[in-house]
Every structure is written in C-alpha cells, then in structure tokens.
Structure 1
Amino acid sequence: MLESRRRSPAPYLNPYLDDLMCEGATVLLAGARSRIVAHSSRGKLDMPTGHVVACEPTRFFDGIPFTETIAPGRYEVQEIVLRDPDSGNEWTPVVAVLLRVSEAPAVSWEMAVRAGQDPRALEDGGFYGFDGVLSPGDPSSTPNRSVRQDS
C-alpha cells in the first residue's frame, strides 16, 4: 500500500523580508512600482533580561517573550519605510521595525514564536501574532518607555 505524503504547510513569509533589512535595496511592488528601503534610527532599547517581546504598545502587553533570546544589553531600534525613488517621499507609513542585534547580515530566518507555538502546525500562509502596530521590548520594561533617543 502506498502511503500518501502531504507536504508540510508553508507559514506566511514576507516576500520582501530580506530586502527590508538592507537599507537602499529596491523593492518591486505589485504593478511594477519600485520603492527604496530606508532605515531611520529611533534610539537604543534597553534589554536587561535578553528576552524579547513584541506588543501593541497602546493597548496590549502581556509580557510573554519569544523563545529565542539575545544577550542582555542595549540595541538600536530602526524604523523601516519605503520611499519613492523619484521624489524621495515616503510611500507608506513605517512598514517594519528592526531590533538590530548584530551588524552581520542574517544568514537565515525563522518565525519568532512563544512557548507552545509550532510553525509546522500552521496552515499555508498562517502566522502567529496579529496585524497592527507592534513595538519590540524586554518583558521587564514598560512598553514605550524603554527606547531612549540617546546613543
């Protein structure tokens, strides 16, 4: 008897993720519109425990960290926007926030998860989290109070 093999579901993966991490990269959007990736430093984030959380800072903070940790310290936070290549104007609001933990380029990506979450259990295109405004932080910090504009 032949065993039917079902492929594993493919969780959502932003097709522009690699480009968004590279300032100056050109992103080709639907309709053949190109945009230039621009990063803007927003200050340093205190990460005293090395545990990383992401939350909607104005109404949702449960303090549950992702399973991967970073070394405790202070890390640069950058907003990522897309600019029109002809005018230089921002085309959209902030499209991503980058918590820069290293200057070295990433060699691979995996979905950030909390304890008990398994990306293999998601349906095609699925993801953990929610749509909306997200802010990175340390669970020991109060949201919106741990980013400092000083270097």
Structure 2
Amino acid sequence: MKYTSTLIAVKDMEKSKQFYHDVLGLNVVADFGANVTLDGGVVLQTLDTWKSFIRTNKVVLPNNAGELYFEEDDMDAFCNHLKSFTISYVHELFEHRWGQRVVRFYDPDKHIVEIGEKLDAVVLRFVEQGLSAEETANRMDIPIDFVVSCLDNK
C-alpha cells in the first residue's frame, strides 16, 4: 500500500484551482474536469461528483476537522505574499511555544490551510539569534541530534 494524495471537495473548480495556484503556487498536474490533481498530492474534486461517489448529500462545508499542511522557509515573505489576496484567516501569523511560526486560513470552500515554518528554519533562526545548539534543542523541545543535523546541512 502507498499513500498518494489528499482529496478535498470544492464547489467551484476554477476558483479553487486559481486560489491554490495564486496563493500557494501549486500547479495542475492532471485535469480531468471534475477531478484535478495539483503539485504535492492535493486533489480537488467537484462537490457534486464527490456526493455521488460517497452516495450522500450530507457533505459538511465548512468544518474545522482537519487541514492541509504546508511548510515554508521564509514565513515573513509568505505572509507579505498573502497581503496580495483577500484571505479569510483562522488566525494570522503566530509563534507556537516551541518557536515554529504558523498561519492558518481558509480556502474558498472553508477548508483550513496551514503554512508552518520549516523546523530547520526555526533552528537556524534561533542559532542566528545567539542560542547555542543545546539551548535551541531545549527551547524547541527537540533532540540535539536534529539541531546538529540542521546546522550541518545549512
């Protein structure tokens, strides 16, 4: 068995394709009309065909039961990019207790999209701010080996 993608139901395929392209930079890999595959394994399915596939009209949009999660090296640049769009935020940029900065917002169908700062970028940010590798591991509550590997790969 192999995991291949995440499928989300959308009301307006063209609007959703445009959103995921413009906001997240995802390109169409395959377009079958009612089913569109984007970079990274995100699949869009029209709501009407999704209802027929699962044999119900009881599809609940919006909901807060899950999210599409992406990672970004440069959170400041990405958040500035978001200012170009009318975004409905779950919450704007904030920092988790372990130091990772994240922003969450809704796509056109109210699916939650999270953009999180890559953990290796968090490590580098803390070290650049003057923390030692050990202090960074303690601050982030992660193994020192992970911190060292991030520093070795920079």
- What TM-score comes out, normalization by structure 1 length? 0.20
Query: Larger RCO: Structure 1 or Structure 2 (Cα < 8 Å, ≥ 6 residues apart)?
Result: 1
Instruction: Please state which structure has a larger fraction of its residues in helix.
Output: 2
- What TM-score comes out, normalization by structure 2 length? 0.20
